[in-house]
Amino acid sequence: MSQPPAKDHWTPGVVEHSDKPPQGWLEALAWYTQRKPVFTGGNEVTLLQGGRDLFPALCERIDQAQHSVWMALYIVSPMGQSSAVLQSLMGAAQRGVEVSMVVDGVGSRDAPASLWRALEDAGVRLVVYKPLHWLWGLMDAGQWRRMHLKLCVVDDDVGFIGGINLIDDHYDLSHGWSENPRLDYAVSVRGAVVMPILHTIRAMWTRAQFGRDWRDDLVQWVQDPHRLQRLKQMWQSASLRLSPQEQEQLMDDGDTMLPMRSAFVLRDNLRQRRTIEQAALRAIVHARQCIDIVTPYFYPRRAMRQALRAAAERGVTVRLLLQGKLDYRIAGMAAQVLYDELQQVGVRIFEYQPAFLHAKVLCVDEEWATVGSSNLDPLSMVLNLEGNLIVRDRGFVQTLSHSLQADFAQSREVSPPDTLHDRRWRTRVRRAVVAFLAKAYLRMGGSTGRY
């Protein structure tokens, strides 16, 4: 894995990219060009809580894989529960299944080099998205934009998406082992919505591969008499574009046996910069009864805060479930400086007590829900690559809401202050500090717009 020299350093081998682009690439219409969610019917979505549900489901599907497994992950750790998934991936590759895995260069930097060697020795096609270079990395704005995705697709048929990294529920990279499991959610999906998830993983894999071996690719391209065609193929592989046939399949709502309407939404730094944020904002604006938000990192734009305030003022029950046990103190302070503003209009704020909270969930009126990797903070909203699934199905959303009720029951509600006068100046100072740090971080990531 490309990272600073270490005692147990590993250098990835060259991986041949054999994927061919769909035919008719110029005429292809892309779900990616749509800045609003593209909903399809005929999907099957199953809720998974924590690695205790996700990892066995992953292992079962990977062990049954016939031809391909694609994964895009922020954090990979071989400790505890997650080791079973890694063993399944190596087993699949050894029996001839094409296993392709892209990991983030920052999120997975602490994994042992022996793990990456074992995966490659087993035949896994492993690439690193933006490896971290300590000497000059902080000066490169692109290094602040990370691949925060948690995606998997097996045999182009079953997909997994959510906020759960490939790491044990009881283990944290910064804080070690804990008695209680981290709170997190993911979903497994089948149906037309799997296709854009697959294309996203493939595009991230190609971008990481090209970014790592660009010098070799450039030399080969110059020497290749068919270089324009090869460049077109490389661009197609790294793009989020569906062929006309795939587009037709994606838009086909004819399957009434599995009626769930779902949409995969992406946040990147090209076309879909605010797709996830705008989808959440629209759901909040149209809420009639209740809004439940679960996120560890809460520092949304002013527009979303105003939408939450407006919902509470018109009688919608608005509840936030945030971290009670902080993994990063600055993230906790960022959320806390907004408490008074929201509580003044009746927004109820809860802090999860048993363990770390990592879930990213939004439920509206028990009819609309999203589960994925995106937090409601500047990193997720402006810099990182994120992926969420939106589900419009009363049965699924009620199942998710019922699970969230248990999470709220294990949380402490934060009481509004009796008086704001004594705390007003301290709140202003803390808000100013948080705003300054957020702005500085976004500037380092190359963002010059207002947040």
360 counts as catalytic: yes
Among the listed residues 17, 148, 170, 199, the single catalytic one is 148
CB neighbourhood size of 120 (10 A): 19
8 A C-beta contact, residue 78 and residue 108: no
Which of the residues 63, 140, 155, 157 is marked catalytic?
Answer: 155
Instruction: Tell me whether strands 317-323 and 185-190 are parallel, antiparallel or unpaired.
Output: unpaired
Q: In three state form, how does the secondary structure of the chain look?
A: CCCCCCCCCCCCCCCCCCCCCCCCCCCCCCHHHCCCCCCEEEEEEEEEEHHHHHHHHHHHHHHCCCCEEEEEECCECCCCCHHHHHHHHHHHHHCCCEEEEEEECCCCCCCCHHHHHHHHHHCCEEEEECCCCCCCHHHCHHHHCCECCEEEEECCCEEEEECCCECCCCEECCCEECCCCCECEEEEEECCCHHHHHHHHHHHHHHHHHHHCHHHHHHHHHHCCCHHHHHHHHHHHHCCCCCHHHHHHHCCCCCCCCCEEEEEEEECCCCCCCHHHHHHHHHHHCCCCEEEEECCCECCCHHHHHHHHHHHHCCCEEEEEEECCCCCHHHHHHHHCCHHHHHCCCCEEEEECCCCECCCEEEECCCEEEEECCCECHHHHHHCEEEEEEEECHHHHHHHHHHHHHHHHCEEECCCCCCCHHHHHHHHHHHHHHHHHHHHHHHHCCCCCCC
User: Is position 155 annotated as part of the catalytic site?
Assistant: yes
Q: Is 175 a catalytic residue?
A: no
- Count of CB atoms situated within 10 Å of the CB of 228: 10
The reply to whether 365 belongs to the active site is yes
The Cα-based distances of 245 to 28, 102, 139, 169, 263 in angstroms read: 9, 27, 43, 40, 18
Q: Looking at 17, 360, 377, 407, which residue is catalytic? A: 360
Q: One of 217, 340, 365, 439 is an active-site residue; which one? A: 365
Catalytic residue among 130, 170, 199, 358: 358
CA-to-CA dists, residue 106 to 272, 371, 387, angstroms: 23, 23, 18
Those residues whose C-beta lies under 8 Å from the C-beta of residue 230, and which sit 6 or more positions away, are 221, 224
Structure tokens at 214: 């660009």
Q: Exactly one of 150, 168, 199, 407 is catalytic; which is it? A: 150
Active site (catalytic) residues:
148, 150, 155, 358, 360, 365
